[in-house]
Structure formats: structure tokens, C-alpha cells
Structure 1
């Protein structure tokens, strides 16, 4: 273990795996199928949870009466599933998970996405069993920035928030972690303004920036300096 840290909690989408990228790509392709261009500046919401219905509504309004929702959905999912066949952990994450095991730190996932989504992706890459705890959006009533999923992860880990560190890729994810009383390391995803992560205890460009132990020592030191 590192200092007083007894557990690590990871967001999933955009942090452990770049499913935000595949999500954007399959919607971008679907808009292009209709000869339209997706407005990527407003695509990602400032909260966790499924926003598919709003995206379908936006596309339907842009296409008009000829829009076939069922065909569009099937086409988009087929493209998304093809992209996911080769999707792996984000750069540097596997090394961090290996290092966490060597440090004896239990791992958790805290995601606003449902269990079938999180478990399915991690299981496909052979990484599911690394996480002693999985807390998902269909197990709580509120999505990030609501802290519910982090509080659930902490309960299942059996450790207090002060002895765990969260890892996030969005401002609303950081807000959820901090509201749960956690220290938080941010790795901003490519679609979010990196200046919006002022609430994080540490901001990195990727998990390749530093070994996990060094990251945890930096977080622990920054907290002590504020006391």
C-alpha cells in the first residue's frame, strides 16, 4: 500500500476504455449516412447515464419524416460493435492495474453505465476479475455528478472515502468523486476542456505520464499540504 491509500476506484467510459470515442464515431457515421454532419461540440452531456434517446431525437429532427429509427439503430449498433471488437484498455491502464496488484490495492469500478455494458467490455478483454468491486449506474438512483455510485463502491470495498482514490475523465465524474469524499486523479478525455478539472487533486494527460505509485504519492502529498 502507498501511505494511507487502501483502495482505488476507476470510472469506466473514457477512462479505463475509450468507449467515448467509439460512441462518438458510430453517431458521426450515422449522421454521415444521411448526408449530415454531427455537431460534436454539444454531443457529450455534463452528466453520466445514457443519452441515446436525445441523440436519436436530434437526428430524427435533422432528417425529417423519412427517418427510420429502427434501421438507424440497427446500423449504428452494428458499426459500434465492430469498433468494440478491437477496443482495449486505455494507454497505460494495464500497467497501472498490474502495479496496483503488486501494491496490494483492491480495485473497484464506479460507472454511470449499466452492469452489462461495464462487465461485458472488461470481460471481453479478460480484465473483469481484476476488479473486486463493480458499482454501476443501474444499481443506483442518481448518475454522476451524483455521488451515489461512488458511495456504493466504497461500501462494497469496505473502506472509508479518506483511504481511497478515484480516477476520472470528466468534470462531472470528478464532482461525483469529491462529493463522496474521495481524492481524485483526472485524465481528461479528448472531448472535454482540460481547464474544467480544477476540482481534481491531480490532472494527468494519460496513465502513461507516471507510474501508479508515483501518482498516489503525489495525491497523498498534496492532501497533506492542504491540512
Structure 2
């Protein structure tokens, strides 16, 4: 069967919200006169680990730590970064090429659905996507395949009829466990050598036109 739909991860793939996340936590630690250990920052799953991060900071700061104030200040800082954040390089061109080819578009993310709609509305890209599947709509985050299976269900397609795009190893695992072929575009914080299970590995979405990507995928 030919590819009828493209299913994109969101954070780090459609938009570089991974960097803004790191920047906001780095700044929060700086406000307390501390330095964030960035080597352990990103988890190997798509779940929210904010509680663990706040617990670590609270232990470093001591009794004076104000979680509520810190969260408010960090969120406001990140929101300001997002005010001008657009799609990742090459993605807008891919979406236009997909539309020209009559391909359906979907998002499958471990992030909450409201996060997806809010950011895609801000850039004006929400109408492009026929289906959104968020992490708050399934029982487990990536690498569990549940969110991809939900996206496929909403599209009414078989895994062979869609292609996934991911930026993390656990995202690729989720897609392949759902039976999808997957193009990996590692985000700036992930070692490209960790993607041997991807169908195709690209450095960025600017590295190849979407029709060329689809041609390569269809030869597998």
C-alpha cells in the first residue's frame, strides 16, 4: 500500500520546544545561583518529569525554595521564548509539499493535546493537521505505541499507509512498535548514533525534499 498520511511528533520535531524547555530550566537554576546538570536533563521517554526536576532543585536550594513562584517565573520565561518560535527548519516546506501531494497530516505527541493546539494555532499551522493525538489521551507515553495507534485509528489507516517522523530514540521506538516506518531527525540534544532502528535518518528536514524522502522510504 502507498503512503496516504504523515504523522509527526511535535516537541523537537515540528518545533524546537526541547531547546526552550532546557533554556527555561537552565534559567531557573541560574536565578537561584546554581548550574543545571544538563547531562541528565532529557528523559528516555515522553512523559513529564517536571516533578523530579523540581524536587532536585528544591533539594539544592533548601527550605527557601518556593515551587509555585519558581514555576510561574519559569513558565513565563518559556512563554516569551515561544512568542516568536516557529516551525523547525524545512518543516513548513515539507507540509506544503505534503498538501500538494494530497497527503493527510497528523500529530502524535506525548505532550497534552492543548499544548499541540496552542502552539500550532499561534503559528497558523493548526488547520493543516487533520488529526491530533496527545499524550493526555492515552495511558502511557512514548516509547509505548499508544499515541501512534490512536492517531492511526483517527485517520482510519493501517500502519503501512502512514509514515512517522521523530526526533528521539524513544519516539522512533513508539512508531515502530505501532508498525510504522519512521524517519528520524535527531534534535540538537540527541546523539544521532542512537537511531539504528529508524527507517531513514536525516540531519534536518532541509536535507531532502519530501518527495525524495518518500521515494527512499518506498524502496524499503
Task: Calculate the TM-score normalised by the size of structure 1.
Answer: 0.96
In structure 1, the residue matched to 2:34 is 36
The structure 1 residue matched to 2:206, chosen from 205, 208, 212, is 208
Q: CA deviation at 1:49?
A: 2.0
SS at match of 2:218: helix
Structure-1 separation of matches of 2:63 and 2:218: 57
Aligned residue number for residue 188 of structure 1: 186
Q: Matched residues in 2 for 1:38 and 1:219: separation?
A: 40
Q: Distance in 1 between matches of 2:93 and 2:80?
A: 26
Counterpart position of 1:89: 87
1:15 is aligned to 2:16:
no
Could you tell me which residue of structure 1 aligns to residue 25 of structure 2?
27
Distance 1:197 1:119 in 2: 28
Superposition map of 1:1-227 within 5 A:
4-221=2-219, 223=220
Equivalents in 2 of 1:63, 1:178: separation in Å? Answer: 42
Deviations 1:135-193 (A, max 9, x none): 00011001000000000000111110011100000000000000000000000011111
Structure 1 unaligned residues grouped into runs of 5+: none
Which ranges of structure 2 fall in alignment gaps of 5 or more residues? none
- Counterpart CA distance in 2 for 1:70 and 1:44 is 22
Taking structure 2 as the reference length, what is the TM-score of the superposition?
A: 0.99
CA RMSD of aligned residues (A): 0.8
